[in-house]
Amino acid sequence: MTTAVSFRPRDLVVNEDGTGHLVGSRCPTCGAHYFPTRQVCAGCLTEDLETIPLPTTGTLYTYTVVHRSTPAFETPYVLGYVDLPGPVRVMGQIDAEPDDVEIGMTVELEIVPWGTDEEGTPLLGYRFAPGGER
Amino acid sequence: MTEVYVIGIGMTEFGKHPDRTAADLGAEAVRGAIHDAGIDPRAIETAYAGHVFQPMVTGQQVLAQVGLAGIPLANVENACSSGSTAIRGSFIDLLAGVADVSLAFGTEHLTGAFKGAFTPGEDDPEAAVGATMPAVYAMRARRYMEEFGLTREQLARISVKNKRNAALNPLAHFKKDVTIDDVLMAKPIAEPFGLLDCSPVSDGAAAVVLATGDWVRRHGEQSRAIRLRASALRTGKVETAPSSMTFEELTRDTANDAYEAAGVGPEDIDFAEVHDCFTIAEVLRIEGLGLWEQGTYPAAVERGEADLGGRLPVNPSGGLLGKGHPLAATGVAQVVELVKQLRGDAGSRQIDGARVGIAHCRGGKAAGVEGAACTVQILTT
Ligand SMILES: [Zn+2]
């Protein structure tokens, strides 16, 4: 059996135990956080940004239920913007029924199967599920 | 300071044109603009062509169709702001003294290139998790509802208003009024949006001919010339911290550049054409332009203030929601509408006493960036 791998290794690290985290940049000078990673800080133009694991628990800023998408995605699904400590905002699908989703709720990153690549290798992606400790 | 005038406008009907191409549509719009200007086509010295999902060098294909091949031309891609960015190219050529007369056009055969929901660029991390453009704007609408008490019906009224204006525009994609119920009952796309909250997939092209004030005076074309006072362009900043999704700093900053260059302020604007790709987008643009205070535009629409005949008509052409949205053609078509209104040639949708008009375009999306490209142009009689 082929081991599953991250769908976007630059953005998402998956550990052997099935946990994982998103990958961002942190500016050592002004403290700004970025996702995806950047080469230079947009705030102070510092060039030596640190690549860091982003926190896995955050707050839902807003969301929608998507009914029409590209062929790669089965609809409907809940999509949201999550503010992680940093602070930094990331987009992800929300693993919940639409009626159970509300702005301001606490959500936690989860690693989930994400189809396969062109060679049939299983991929892992991420979603956010309600719950988690802030 | 060199003065810049729009001396000719041309536009195809927007809609579904299954048997045509971007080059063919572009050529129709360009010929229309040259005829409208009443000039010898050989007076045109430079050209800029906006297109997004079309074959490379579509601009040269258009020039070849209309007998203008040979002059300098650059193809411009800035997502939905491609056409308005092309106009800025011509504007700068005139200011720089590179040309006295320049052509800008946008053309898109979108139904042939594209079906379904738009997404950010394929390699974008947000596209990878299921972002679509309707979803991104739907999330902004949801947040606006939470912060300002915007209702679903208020959103629907924007679509109703713009499609009502489109019904008066013979070149519009939508030619029929819709009701609030039609908007609410349309099939869901990304909640709270249904199909009628989203601009349609349209084919079409639009073109303008610009000339310097000196050239206009020398050639006696003043009567129909409309002054292009400012053509501002900005790119969205990378966010150093999460920002409000209910106010557009990018629109505000680009508008401030345009207001400063034109020597006017929001209080001087008589009417606006803005990038209403989705119903909420009209709210965000208008408040970003400073034409209404943040949080107040939806109620103003309800009171009819943005209607034709209202205090400040918004999207008299029908906007993207009504006139249609052939991406790169959109920004040029907005300027075409401004010119028609300022000439007093807008027929049944003419705004009385229109003297100062503003056009706003905004396109593209990338993760962590407030928006990709934004343009604001100000025209006056
Ligand atoms: Zn910094």
- Which residue does chain A place closest to B192, by CA atoms? A64
d(CA B164, CA B256): 30
Range(s) of the domain holding residue A59:
5-130
d(CA B198, CA B158): 11
Per DSSP bridges, beta strands B188-190 and B193-194 are: antiparallel
d(CA B79, CA B302): 31
A-B C-beta contacts closer than 8 Å: 112
Q: Are B302 and B156 in contact (CB under 8 A)?
A: no
- Assign a CATH topology to domain B129-199+231-380: Peroxisomal Thiolase; Chain A, domain 1 (3.40.47)
State yes or no: pLDDT of A122 exceeds 70. Answer: yes
> Between chains, do A42 and B245 touch, taking CB under 8 Å as contact?
no
Active-site residues of B, by number, are 80, 325
The encoded tokens of residue B264 equal: 């006017």
Whole-model pTM: value is: 0.96
Residue whose tokens read 């006017």:
B264
- CB-CB: which of A42, A66, A80 is closest to B240? A42
Interface test with A, best of B139, B198, B278 (most A CBs within 10 A): B139
Residue B238: DSSP 8-state = B
Residue B80: DSSP 8-state = B
Overall average pLDDT of the B155-169 stretch = 98
pLDDT band at B116; cut points 50, 70, 90: low
Residue whose tokens read 């060199």:
B2
Overall average pLDDT of the B337-364 stretch = 96
pLDDT band at B221; cut points 50, 70, 90: low
Overall average pLDDT of the A81-102 stretch = 97
H and E: helices and strands count for chain A: 0, 10
> Between chains, do B128 and A70 touch, taking CB under 8 Å as contact?
no
- Among B116-130, B189-203, B335-349, the least confident range: B116-130
Which residues 78-117 of A are in CB contact (within 8 Å) with B? 79-81, 83, 86-89, 91-93, 98, 103
Q: What are A25's strand-pairing partners?
A: A34, A51
Residue-level pLDDT at B210? 98
State yes or no: pLDDT of B54 exceeds 90. Answer: yes
Of all residues in chain B, the percent with pLDDT exceeding 70 is: 98
Nearest to B378 by CA among B263, B248, B281, B276: B263
Domain ranges in chain B?
4-114+202-228, 129-199+231-380
Which ipTM did the prediction report?
0.96
Backbone φ and ψ for B73, nearest 5 degrees, come out as -140, 140
Nearest to B178 by CA among B154, B158, B201, B193: B158
Q: Do domains B4-114+202-228 and B129-199+231-380 have the same CATH topology?
A: yes
Count of structural domains within chain A: 1
Overall average pLDDT of the B41-60 stretch = 96
Residue-level pLDDT at A134? 63
* pLDDT tens digits along B229-273: 999 999 999 889 999 999 999 999 999 999 999 999 999 999 999
- How many CA atoms, within 13 angstroms, populate the side-chain half-sphere of residue B174? 25
Interface test with B, best of A13, A46, A62, A126 (most B CBs within 10 A): A62
Q: Which residues in chain B are closer than 8 Å to A30, comparing Cβ atoms?
A: 240
Overall average pLDDT of the A49-66 stretch = 98
Burial B283-314 (b: 16+ CB within 10 A, else e): bbbbbbbbbbebbebbebbeeebbbbebebbb
- CB-CB: which of A34, A69, A72 is closest to B368? A34
Overall average pLDDT of the B166-195 stretch = 97
Of all residues in chain A, the percent with pLDDT exceeding 70 is: 99
- Among A69-83, B214-228, B351-365, the least confident range: B214-228
CA A119 from chain center: how many Å? 24
Residue-level pLDDT at B371? 83
Q: Is B60 helix (H, G, I), strand (E, B) or coil?
A: helix
| Helix axes B58-66 and B22-37, enclosed angle (nearest 10) | 50
> Between chains, do A67 and B128 touch, taking CB under 8 Å as contact?
no
Q: How far is A21 from chain B (nearest CA, A)?
A: 14
| CATH code of the domain made up of B4-114+202-228 | 3.40.47.10
Overall average pLDDT of the A16-31 stretch = 96
